[in-house]
Structure 1
C-alpha cells in the first residue's frame, strides 16, 4: 500500500508506530516488561508452547500471512515469539511478530495513525485495558466467533472490552491493585491478620509506624501512588468504589459527585502526614515500591509485579511480607482496579479467518497456562488461575478471594476517556492538597460533563 509517500510496508509500519502525540497512558502496571528498571528474566524455556487446539481448522488458511503487533522486550517478547512459532508449525499460517514500542504513548499514537489510514498492514493488535473504547470503531466484532469463549473469562474485563454491544477485544492477561503488608510487623504488634476495613488499616498503620519510628524516622504506615497521573485514577477509583461511591460514569453520565465519594477522598487526605509521607502525592509505582521493599513501610498498595521483586534474593523484606485484598468500608466490597492487556483484530485485516485462528490460540486455556508458568502473567480464566501448577507459580492469587475487579470507565467514555481520567486525577490531586472534597468532586463532574458533550 502507499500512504503519505511511504510505499514500503516495513517502512510504513516503522513510521506509523513511532508517531508521538497522545497522552493516553495506562499509568498502571499492565505488562511484565514494565515492572521495574531491573533486567528482566527470561521465560522458562523448558516449557514447550502448547499445541493449537483445532489446528485442522487453522490449516484451511495455511499460507496466509499475518502481522501481529506484540510485546517489545523481555519475557513477554520471548513468549510471543515462541507461541507464534508453534502456531505457524501447527497451522501453516505465517505470523510476522512486530514488537510494539515499549512506551505506551508511542504505541497508542501508532495505532491512531494506522487506523486512521484504514491500513491492512496490521492484523492482530495488543491493547492496554483502557484502549478498547477509543479504538472500538476500528476493531472487528468478536462476539459472533468468540462470544462463548469470552464468557469464560473474568467478567469485569470482558465487560470492559464490550463497547456499544460489540465485543472488540479478548482478555489476554490481567493485573490488579492489592494490599501488601509486612507479616513480621503484624506479628510483632499483635495482629493475627491483615486489615479488612480502612479503619483497621489506619489503626494498624498508625500503631506500627509509631513503634518503628523509635528506631527509624523514615518509617511510614502506608504508601501508595498519589501523583497526578493515571496511577492516581486507579488508586482513587478503588477508594471510591470501596466506600460505595460508584464507578465514576454510568451510561455516559458522571456519577462521581456524591457523599460516599467525598468520604473516600476525605479519608485519603487524612492519611497524608499521618500514616503516609507528605511526598506520597508525588509517588508513582516505583517510588512506593522502593519505600516498602526498603523496609520503610508497613503497608503498600501496588500491582502484582511487586510480589516477585520483593521476593527476590537481596530484597530486605524477602519472606517477611504477604498480600491481601484492599480494604473497604463496612458493608461494601474490596475493590481492585483492573489493569492488563487485551488482544484484538483490526477491522481492516484482509485475513479475518486466519486472524481469528491466531486469536483463539492466544486466549486459550493452554496458552494462558503457558504464559503464567513461563512469564508470571496472570490468567483471565478463573479455571487456569486455580490450576495447581499456576497456584504454585502465583501463590498470591489464593489470598485474594473476596476482591472485586473494577474496570475504569474507558468503554463508556470511548475516545474521551483520556479527558475523563485527567479531570478525575487532577481533581483528586486537588483534594489531597487541600481543596475541600465536595468542591473537588463538583469540579470533576463539571469537567467530565464538558468532555462528554
Structure 2
C-alpha cells in the first residue's frame, strides 16, 4: 500500500506542511474515506458520477484514525485551501468545522434532504446553516442471545433493571451448567468516546435525563444521572467483568461472539460479524432497542455516522454540490447498505424489501434511529472534545469505584460550567 502522503496532491501536502499552496487543481477533489470498503465504495460512486457527467474527480485518501483525519482537515481548512472541495465528516464535527463549511442550502436542490431522519438534519445544521449532508448512520443497539432467553423463559428486557436481573439469572445458570466464562452484559467501558455514547444512553433513558439540554443548558446534575450511574456501577464485577473498564467495541464483541455474554451494547456493524460462519453465536443472536430507564423512561440510542461537506474555499461549489447530491442519493445509499452495511439516513429505505431481506433487523433499526440521541456537538462546537472528555473521565471513575456517584456528578457539572463559560 502506498504511504498516506503519496496519495495526496502536492498542493494539499504543501498546505499541511505550512508551505505556500501551489496553483489549485482544475479537477474536483473529494476526501471520502481512508482504507478498505469505505474508500472503495467512495471511489466507485465517484467514478459512476464522472462517467455520467464527464467531470473529472480525484479521490484523496485520509488517515484511518478519526482524530488524525480531523486534524488534517483543520489544517487544510484553516489555511483556506481550495485543494479539497468535499470532505467526509463525523457527526460530532459540524460545530467544530462550521465556519469553514459551505451552507449546502445554497448549492443543493431542495429534494436532496427530503425523507431524512430529522435528528440527523438537526445535527447537521449549525446556526441555521446546513453544513453537512448526512450520508450513513449508526446507533447503539442491544444484542442478545435469543436462544438463552428462550431456554430460560425470559422476555427481552424493556428496562435497565430488567436487563440487570435477567443478565444475573442467566449468567448464574450458565455458570452452574459449566460455562465459567459467561457474563451477563458487556459494553464499552474504557475512558474514551465510546463510553460517552454509553453514558448518554444510560442518562437519556431516564425521565428528565440529559447532559446538555436542546437549549444549551447544562442538565447533568439530576436524579436521572445519579440513578443511571449508580446502576451502571453495580454491573462491574457482577454481571460485567472488571475488564469491561478497558473494553472498546471490539473487546466486547469478542466476548459476545465467542458465546460468553448474554447481552451486549454495540453498533450495527457487529450484526454481520456475529452471523459469520466462524461465529460461535451464529443464528443465536437478535437485536432490540436499548432498555428504558424505568417504566416512565425511553429507549435512548446514541447516533453516530458521517456526512459530506463542501469547503467554503472550493472554487467549484456548485459542481461539488452536484456530486454530494449524487453520492447521498437514495440509490447510492441503498447500494452502500447492500454491499457493505452502511446504514442509510433516508427513512423510506428501512421499508425497502430488498434491504429488509438482506438485513431483517432494519425493521427494528428504523424505530431506534427515529428515537436516537445526538451527542451535543452542534451546541458545544469546538468545545465538544472537552465536554466528552469530562463526561467519560468522570463516568469511568464511577465505574472503577474510584469516585462516588454524587461527587462525580457534582464535579462534572462544575467542569461543564467552566468549559461553557458564558455560552457555547
Q: TM-score, normalised by structure 1?
A: 0.85
Change (3 A) 1:15 1:185: farther
Structure 1 Cα separation of the partners of residues 290 and 93 of structure 2: 25
Q: Does 1:355 align with 2:295?
A: no
Structure 2 Cα separation of the partners of residues 414 and 223 of structure 1: 31
Structure 2 Cα separation of the partners of residues 211 and 348 of structure 1: 62
What do residues 25-44 of structure 1 show as CA deviations (whole Å, max 9, x unaligned)? Answer: xxxxxxxxxxxxxxxxxxxx
Deviation at 1:145, TM superposition (A): 4.1
Deviation at 1:402, TM superposition (A): 4.2
CA RMSD of aligned residues (A): 2.0
Structure 2 Cα separation of the partners of residues 313 and 16 of structure 1: 47
Structure 2 Cα separation of the partners of residues 94 and 400 of structure 1: 37
8 A Cα contact 1:17 1:109, kept in partner: no
8 A Cα contact 2:15 2:81, kept in partner: no
Q: What are structure 1's unaligned runs of at least 5 residues?
A: 1-8, 20-62
| Equivalent residue, structure 2, for 1:418 | 385
SS at match of 2:59: strand
| Equivalent residue, structure 2, for 1:407 | 374
Structure 1 Cα separation of the partners of residues 11 and 53 of structure 2: 28
Structure 1 Cα separation of the partners of residues 113 and 58 of structure 2: 25
Q: Does 1:73 align with 2:41?
A: no
The aligned runs of 1:246-395 (5 Å cut-off) are 246-250=209-213, 251-328=215-292, 329-395=294-360
| Equivalent residue, structure 2, for 1:44 | none
Deviation at 1:252, TM superposition (A): 3.0
8 A Cα contact 1:18 1:109, kept in partner: no
Deviation at 1:377, TM superposition (A): 0.8
Structure 2 Cα separation of the partners of residues 273 and 172 of structure 1: 39
8 A Cα contact 2:140 2:303, kept in partner: yes
Question: Which of 90, 108, 113 does residue 128 from structure 1 map onto?
Answer: 90
Deviation at 1:290, TM superposition (A): 0.4
Q: Does 1:173 align with 2:136?
A: yes
Deviation at 1:181, TM superposition (A): 0.3
Q: Does 1:10 align with 2:9?
A: yes
Deviation at 1:390, TM superposition (A): 1.1
8 A Cα contact 1:224 1:300, kept in partner: yes
Question: Which of 202, 212, 226 does residue 174 from structure 2 map onto?
Answer: 212
Change (3 A) 1:339 1:417: same
Deviation at 1:18, TM superposition (A): 8.9
Change (3 A) 1:145 1:330: farther
Structure 2 Cα separation of the partners of residues 338 and 18 of structure 1: 34
Structure 2 Cα separation of the partners of residues 265 and 361 of structure 1: 44
Number of aligned residue pairs: give it. Answer: 403
Question: Which of 109, 116, 123 does residue 160 from structure 1 map onto?
Answer: 123
8 A Cα contact 2:350 2:366, kept in partner: no
Q: What are structure 2's unaligned runs of at least 5 residues?
A: 1-7, 19-24
| Equivalent residue, structure 1, for 2:414 | 446
8 A Cα contact 2:101 2:131, kept in partner: yes
Deviation at 1:256, TM superposition (A): 0.9
Deviation at 1:16, TM superposition (A): 5.3
SS at match of 1:298: strand
| Equivalent residue, structure 2, for 1:150 | 113
What do residues 154-212 of structure 1 show as CA deviations (whole Å, max 9, x unaligned)? Answer: 11111111111111001100011000000111111012x31111121111101100001
Of 94-103 and 146-155, deviating more is: 146-155
8 A Cα contact 2:189 2:248, kept in partner: yes
